Copies of this chain bind each other. A is one copy, B any other.
Amino acid sequence: MTAPAPKKVVLAYSGGLDTSIILKWLQTEYGCEVVTFTADLGQGEELEPARKKAELLGIRSENIHIEDLREEFVRDFVFPMFRANALYEGLYLLGTSIARPLIAKRLAEIAAETGADAVAHGATGKGNDQVRFELGVAALNPALKVIAPWRLWDLTSRTKLLEFAEANQIPIAKDKRGEAPFSVDANLLHTSSEGKVLENPAEEPPAYVWQRTVDPEEAPDTPEFVEIGFERGDAVSINGERLSPATILARLNDIGGRHGVGRLDLVENRFVGMKSRGAYETPGGTILLEAHRGIEQITLDAGAGHLKDSIMPRYAELIYNGFWFSPEREMLQALIDKSQEHVTGTVRLKLYKGSVRTVARWSDHSLYSEKHVTFEEDAGAYDQKDAEGFIRLNALRLRLVAVRNARAKG
C-alpha cells in the first residue's frame, strides 16, 4: 500500500508497553497526531496510569480519551448475546469476541468527533481481534483507514521492541523485561490466556495460568445457592436485589470465581484459518448461561426454543468472526429478541467446586402445565386418545417410504 500517511490517528491504547510502543511508532512513522482511547471494560486495571503514560509520551490532554464502558458493554453487547445462549464451537462463551465491537465503535466515534482519518490497534496479524476491530470500524465509519502496526513494522522480536522502547524513552516496567509466559486478555466477561506455555494442547495448562477463578479443589466444601431474576431475557437481580447489568455480571464473577466455576481449556478454530488453544475463565458468564437456559426452559415455547437453538451456531460464529455490526447479525438479533418477550422469572442455582447447576425455576410467564403433564388424573386437560392420530399421521410418510422401499427391492 502506498496510501497517503494518516494525519490523525485514534489509537486503542491500554497504557501497556506494547501499545505505548505503537503510540510512539505512529508518531515516528507517520509524523501524525495521536489520539488515545482507553476504556474500562472491567479488565480490572486502573485507567489513570494510562492517562499519565499518554501524557508522558506527549499526547495533549484533549487527545486523551478515557472511558468507563462497563455498563454499555454488558447492557448492549453481553446481554444481547446471552439471550441467544451463544456458544462458539459448543463451548466458548465469546468473552473476547464480544468486547471488540464496542472498542471498534468508540474508535470510530472518537475519530468522527476528533476529525481523525485513521484508527490503530495493537492486535497481531495472526489473531481474530484484528478482524473484529477492522470489520467493526469498516461497518461504522467506512472511510477510516486502519493501521495495524504488527502487520507493518519490522519490530518482529522482543529484543527489537525493547530496543525501540529504550531508544524512544518509553518506560519499561521491570516485569516486562522478560517475556510473559503467555498472553492475557480480560474484561468483565472473561479472562483468556493463550500462547507460549499453552501452545501444546496435549499438555494441561499449568495452574498459574488461571487467574480469576480458584481451583475447584480449593473451592469451599459447602455449596452456595444463588437466585437470578430475569426480565425479557436479561438478568435483573441477584438473590432478590435489583442491580445494574455490569453490577450483576461483576457479582456473578465473584460468586462463580470463588467456586471455581467457568474454566475452559479449548482448542478452537480461528477465523484466519488456524487452530489455537486458549484457557478461558468466565465465571459469571457460565452462571448466566446456565440460568438463562433454566428460565427459558419454562418460559420459551418449543417452536421458539428450537428455532433459536438452530440459528445459535451461526450467530456465535458471526460474533466470533467479528461481524457484530453486520446486517445478518442484526437480523438474527431481531429474531432472538423477539423470542425473549416472556423470558421473565427466577432461577435458583447451586454452585459447588467448579460446577453450577439449575435446581429450580419459576415464573409468572411459565408455559409448564402440571395439569397437562401429571401422571395423576388430569381432569380432561389432555386426551390420551389424541396421541393415536398424532402418531398415525406422523407415521404415514414413514409407512409409505417403507412400502416403497420394499417394493423397490422386490
Contacts and interface: CB of A to CB of B under 8 A. Distances in A.
Given A126-B387, A301-B327, A367-B397, 8 more contacts: A199-B373, A274-B397, A323-B398, A364-B408, A367-B404, A386-B389, A389-B390, A390-B392
Contacts of A368: 201, 267, 275, 277
Contacts of A44: none
B328 A306 contact: yes
Given A354-B354, A361-B201, A326 B398 contact: yes
A311 B335 CA distance: 11
Complex copy number for this chain? 4
Contacts of A372: 126, 274, 396, 400
A397 B303 contact: yes
A370 to B, nearest CB: 5
**Which 9 pairs from chain A and chain B are nearest by CB?**
A125-B384, A389-B389, A273-B396, A269-B302, A386-B389, A138-B395, A267-B297, A142-B399, A303-B328
Given A382-B274, A405-B342, A196 B375 contact: yes
Interface in A352-406: 352-355, 357-362, 364-370, 372-377, 382-405
B204 A348 contact: yes
A85 B367 CA distance: 28
Interface string A262-292: 0111111110111111000000000000000
Contacts of A361: 201-202, 267
A402 B331 contact: no
Contacts of A392: 383, 386, 389-390
A309 B37 CA distance: 38
A138 B202 contact: no
A305 B199 contact: no
A203 interface: yes
Chain A contact residues (Cβ within 8 angstroms of B): what range? 35 or more
Nearest to A390: B393
Interface of A: 1, 85, 89-91, 124-126, 130-131, 134-135, 138-142, 148, 150-151, 156-157, 183, 195-196, 199-205, 216-217, 221, 223, 263-270, 272-277, 293, 297-298, 301-314, 317, 322-323, 325-328, 330-332, 334-339, 342, 348, 350, 352-355, 357-362, 364-370, 372-377, 382-405, 407-408
A372 to B, nearest CB: 4
A64 to B, nearest CB: 28
Given A303-B323, A328-B307, A391-B130, A202 B384 contact: no
A397 B302 contact: yes
6 contacts: A139-B402, A204-B359, A302-B397, A326-B398, A367-B400, A372-B396
Contacts of A204: 348, 350, 359-360
A303 B327 contact: yes
Contacts of A203: 360
A162 to B, nearest CB: 16
B399 A138 contact: yes
Contact of A297 (B275, B317, B328): B275
A323 to B, nearest CB: 7
Contact of A274 (B157, B221, B276, B400): B400
